[in-house]
Amino acid sequence: MATSLARQNTLLLAVAFILIELLAAATFAGFLMLPVARRAADDLAGLMMLAAQTWAELPPDTRTDFEHELLASHELALRAEPAGIGHDEWHAPFFYLLEDSLARRGGTHQHLSSERVGAEIWYWANLPAGEGWLAVGLPRQRIETQPVLAIVLALGGGLLFAGGVSFWLARRITAPLARLEQAAMHVGLGERPALLPETGPRELATLARGFNAMARQVRDLLTARTTLLAGVSHDLRTPLARMRLALEMLKSDPVPALIAQLENDIEEMNGLIATLLDLARGLERESPIDLDVAELLGKLAADTSTMKRIIAVHCPPCRREVPPRALRRAIDNLLQNALRYAPHGTIELVCEATAEHCRIGVLDRGPGIPPDLIAAMFEPFQRLDDSRCPQTGGAGLGLAIVRELARANSWQVKLEPRAGGGLAAWIDLH
């Protein structure tokens, strides 16, 4: 069974902290503690050799006072009888350095001899004193440093600290991922989880931002699906009721008018289904090509203009890499809305282009849309005319299709009132 990301990170960070601590301890010991200890051991060895030589050169009647002063001031003891032979027993690291220093100064290497004097452990060395030898000793407690204990305590404390910090860091790193995992699970179950906080390190904030965008899209798709199902069932109910009534009447009186009514209802239902298919296709990505926007607008105006309705085109030379069918369908939907809701006045197709920016507008002089209702008009089956009569407007899907086309191609679409009345619908191609 695979371990969790938090546990893996905890172990990796703990190992990294321990290795760093060992490296720091080795560096500190090798470049600071060891040179200082060698210098101290060499100074102590020199003091011990000097004490032995001085004692040998003093008159016998002053040696006792010298021994008392040496013990009181330097914690060194002298005795005439030689110390026993030291064995390879374990000493504190400092005493091994002291043995090396005494060997360099005395010419012979010897192990310090240890013995218990009262409650203390003393170490003795036989040093040359005049024509003979003199035992010089010092208590173990004279060397107060305990580097081994210090290293053990430092490593133990460091291990606990490294484990705690590693666990905290691992939880801090993996907690947002755990929230993401739970949120993704809710999305997979069709639920609507709360959006993730877009804070923290750049990578996690970017990940949360991307997930939130995906969650909003899923939420919008679920809302659109519910709205589409409700709208389709509502809009199909009326022609189906008329068809059922016409069929009943045809049984007793099969007149051509009833047959024509059935055909009209079928066409109305077919048109609604075709519009829904257009909305679904809005999510499909189309490969962009190098397109002459002015030429596209000119063709749309020529195909749509009539003797009674003139569509003016104002577009400088402009070429853009865009999906042609998606752009034509979006502009055509806006144009059909303008023709339907602005029956009078000239409709303008406008293109404003620079080297970096291009936006296309459909401008009319109709009644417009109240500003507080503009956002709602992009939702499926939303119309200003509450009667939903086919003679006064479409199914309420035109702007929804334009919005989906814009989302699929990273465009921006907006509606805004015109000065002097009317509506301006803009598609920003960037």
Tens digit of pLDDT for each residue in 48-92?
999 988 988 899 899 889 989 999 998 899 988 777 665 556 777
Q: What is the pLDDT of residue 87?
A: 54
Assess contact for 6 and 171: CB atoms under 8 A. yes
Give every strand in the sheet of 311-314, ordered side by side: 311-314, 347-353, 358-364, 423-428, 412-417
Domain with CATH 3.30.565.10 in the chain: 286-428
Which among 361, 369, 360, 313 has a CA at the least distance from the CA of 341? Answer: 369
Give the H or E element holding residue 74. Answer: helix 63-74
What band does 388 get if pLDDT is binned at 50, 70 and 90? very low
Strand partners, 272: none
Listed in order, the ranges of the chain carrying CATH 1.10.287 are 195-281
Tokens of 377: 């008009």
The residues pairing with 132 across neighbouring beta strands, listed in sequence order, are 129
Q: Where are the strands (E) in 250-346, listed by range?
A: 289-292, 311-314, 319-322
The answer on pLDDT for 363 being more than 90 is: yes
Q: Give CA–CA dist 180/306, Å, rounded.
A: 56
CATH architecture of 5-150: 2-Layer Sandwich (3.30)
At residue 254, the pLDDT reads 74
Q: For the residues 90-110, what does the mean pLDDT come to?
A: 83
Per-residue pLDDT, 217 = 75
Cβ-Cβ contacts under 8 Å for 277 (sequence gap 6 or more): none
> What homologous superfamily does CATH list for 286-428?
Histidine kinase-like ATPase, C-terminal domain (3.30.565.10)
Strands 311-314 and 347-353: parallel
Does residue 152 register a pLDDT over 90? no
Q: CA-based diameter of the chain, in Å? A: 155
- The yes or no reply on domain 195-281 and CATH 2.60.40 is no
Q: What percent of the chain has pLDDT over 90?
A: 9
